[in-house]
């Protein structure tokens, strides 16, 4: 499917803005219908979307359904059920004399919004913001990633058949098309470098922005936790989407004395998950493009760390799950977010060193720690900052509809998932309604001022 002609973009924007102004997206019954239509679109086209994800990423059907299509069906239906509650005005507390003025927060849709999505979980990361925008009563332009081109084409074909095109549109394209769109309210998911370009555009229009970015999410493995279970949980999640996941465990920090035990548990888990090796397994996604493959191979070739699992590549889109030990902070693997099937292990000599290692770097999207020691848990809560903190598992936080998802500092800002996406696209508009009966009391504010009025 070809890109949306740039000349059509202003017209699309004008149509959506006119619909918003007319109030098309306001009625709650209409929003619920659109949300259920979104669920229906997914349900009736499971195979179309699963096939597209497979063509884009070699994504196994299990992962396509369990982590993208199924979750989005569930969340669309759930949002339709809960939107009445979310959209209710909230009366806030006030001083006695103010209560008759009914201080209220009204949930106002912010307008026509732009959703710029990445390629790694193309369906979930395009539709999760969209369903929040629908629930909040916004119109939306959806710009899927050109890198996941099969998914983008499938969405552009199916969405207009289920959702009202006066309110929701898919724009296909890359940088020129996105640049043209950058006058709407933005919800951007992607990397930090492009986020800075998006932020500059947003500043020019004073447009609110939500940034869902990435970074290096560390995993601390403390000897107090069962190392066999820790290894399985880390490796299982690391290989979701071939490691191309924003909250993927990026590197592991472990006491030096415990490193070999961890390596051996990781080897066992690897042998159990991929008896024929990960290169030939069909339970694994591949690297999205030859460019991303070369980036990862360059990191691998420059690394001076010891490879203890994997290390091979095949063609221009497959790399074996590779575990490295004794990784030094200056190694190529520690330069930036890995976003691929590499797992470096960094040995440390104390918990203080581990905490300092984390604190010396950008606040990650997630911090994971395997430990049964409550003191270590508390220290990590008190002494570090990250989008999420997860004990004794990795990536599992994504399964919780009612926990906010997002980053802090360089890992992004703004929140999503369920009610939090609704809130992102709603403006909390303050309101009061002052009864005329309050006039005798309020009259004290009028001039002329005198000593008598000061006593009130």
Catalytic residue set:
212, 246
Q: Is 339 in the site for ligand NAD (CB under 6 A)?
A: yes
Least gap, CB of 141 to ligand NAD (angstroms): 12
Least gap, CB of 172 to ligand NAD (angstroms): 10
Q: Is 197 in the site for ligand NAD (CB under 6 A)?
A: yes
Q: Is 178 in the site for ligand NAD (CB under 6 A)?
A: yes
Choose between 68 and 337: whose C-beta lies nearer to ligand NAD.
337
Choose which of 19, 126, 189, 278 interacts with ligand NAD (CB under 6 A).
Answer: 189
Q: Is 296 in the site for ligand NAD (CB under 6 A)?
A: no
Q: Is 340 in the site for ligand NAD (CB under 6 A)?
A: no
Strand partners, 112: 139
Choose which of 143, 216, 232, 325 interacts with ligand NAD (CB under 6 A).
Answer: 143
Q: Which stretch binds ligand NAD (CB under 6 A): 48-56, 174-182, 310-318, 376-384?
A: 174-182
Least gap, CB of 209 to ligand NAD (angstroms): 13
Taking the C-alpha atoms of residue 196 and residue 339, their distance in angstroms, rounded to an integer, is: 19
Choose which of 190, 255, 341, 414 interacts with ligand NAD (CB under 6 A).
Answer: 190
Q: CA end-to-end span of the chain, whole Å?
A: 71
Question: Is the Cβ–Cβ distance between 279 and 318 less than 8 Å?
Answer: yes
Q: Is 145 in the site for ligand NAD (CB under 6 A)?
A: yes
Choose which of 51, 146, 157, 226 interacts with ligand NAD (CB under 6 A).
Answer: 146
Cα torsion angle, 361, 366, 371, 372, sign: positive
Q: Is 153 in the site for ligand NAD (CB under 6 A)?
A: no
Choose which of 213, 299, 346, 380 interacts with ligand NAD (CB under 6 A).
Answer: 213
Question: Is the Cβ–Cβ distance between 75 and 392 less than 8 Å?
Answer: no
3-state secondary structure 67-122: HHHHHHHHHHHHHHHHHHHHHCCEECCCCHHHHHHCCEEEEEECCEEEEECCCCCH
* Secondary structure letter of residue 146 according to DSSP: S
Of the candidates 308, 185, 242, the residue with the CA atom closest to the CA atom of residue 67: 242
Residue 186 has which token pair? 């933005």
Choose between 217 and 371: whose C-beta lies nearer to ligand NAD.
217
Choose which of 9, 83, 117, 376 interacts with ligand NAD (CB under 6 A).
Answer: 117
Residue bearing tokens 């309101």: 431
Q: Which stretch binds ligand NAD (CB under 6 A): 52-60, 139-147, 202-210, 314-322?
A: 139-147
Taking the C-alpha atoms of residue 56 and residue 244, their distance in angstroms, rounded to an integer, is: 13
What mask of x and - would describe binding to ligand NAD in positions 372 to 411, judged by CB under 6 A? -----------------------------------x----
By CB under 6 A, the count of residues binding ligand NAD is 28
Q: Is 424 in the site for ligand NAD (CB under 6 A)?
A: no
Q: Is 212 in the site for ligand NAD (CB under 6 A)?
A: yes
* Secondary structure letter of residue 321 according to DSSP: -
Taking the C-alpha atoms of residue 183 and residue 380, their distance in angstroms, rounded to an integer, is: 40
3-state secondary structure 357-396: HHHCCCCCCEEEEECCCHHHHHHHHHHCCCCEEEECCCCH
């Amino acid at each position: 499917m070809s890109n949306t002609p740039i000349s059509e973009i202003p017209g699309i924007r004008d149509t959506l803005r006119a619909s918003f102004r007319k109030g098309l997206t306001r009625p709650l019954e209409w929003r619920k219908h659109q949300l259920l239509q979104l669920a229906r679109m997914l349900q009736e086209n499971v195979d179309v979307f699963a096939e597209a994800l497979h063509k884009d990423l070699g994504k196994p059907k299990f992962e396509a359904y369990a982590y993208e299509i199924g979750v989005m069906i569930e969340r669309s239906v759930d949002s339709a059920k809960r939107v009445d509650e979310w959209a209710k005005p909230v009366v806030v507390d006030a001083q006695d004399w103010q209560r008759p003025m009914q201080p209220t927060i009204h949930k106002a849709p912010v307008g026509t919004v732009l959703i710029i999505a990445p390629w790694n979980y193309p369906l979930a990361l395009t539709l999760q913001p969209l369903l929040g925008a629908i629930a909040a009563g916004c119109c939306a332009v959806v710009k899927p990633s050109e890198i996941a081109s099969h998914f983008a084409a499938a969405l552009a074909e199916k969405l207009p058949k289920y959702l009202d095109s006066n309110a929701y549109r898919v724009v296909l394209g890359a940088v020129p098309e996105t640049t043209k769109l950058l006058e709407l309210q933005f919800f951007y998911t992607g990397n930090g470098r492009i986020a800075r370009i998006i932020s500059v555009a947003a500043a020019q229009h004073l447009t609110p922005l939500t940034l869902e970015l990435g970074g290096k999410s560390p995993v601390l493995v403390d000897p107090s936790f069962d190392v066999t279970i820790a290894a399985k949980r880390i490796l299982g999640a690391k290989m979701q989407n071939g490691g191309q996941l924003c909250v993927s465990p990026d590197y592991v920090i472990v006491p030096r004395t415990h490193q070999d035990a961890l390596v051996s548990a990781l080897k066992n888990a690897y042998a159990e998950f991929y008896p024929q090796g990960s290169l030939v397994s069909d339970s694994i996604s591949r690297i999205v493009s030859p460019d991303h493959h070369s980036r990862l191979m360059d990191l691998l070739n420059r690394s001076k760390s010891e490879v203890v699992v994997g290390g091979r590549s095949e063609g221009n889109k497959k790399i074996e799950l590779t575990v490295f030990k004794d990784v030094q902070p200056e190694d190529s693997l520690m330069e930036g977010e890995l976003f691929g099937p590499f797992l470096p292990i960094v040995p440390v000599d104390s918990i203080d060193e581990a905490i300092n290692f984390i604190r010396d770097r950008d606040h990650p999207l997630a911090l994971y720690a395997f430990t049964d020691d409550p003191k270590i848990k508390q220290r990590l809560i008190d002494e570090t900052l990250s989008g999420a903190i997860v004990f004794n598992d990795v990536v599992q936080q994504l399964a919780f509809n009612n926990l906010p998802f997002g980053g802090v500092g360089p890992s992004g800002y703004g929140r999503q998932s369920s009610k939090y996406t609704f809130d992102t696209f709603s403006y909390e508009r303050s309101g009061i309604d002052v009864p005329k009966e309050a006039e005798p009391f309020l009259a004290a504010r009028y001039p002329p001022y005198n000593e008598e009025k000061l006593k009130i």
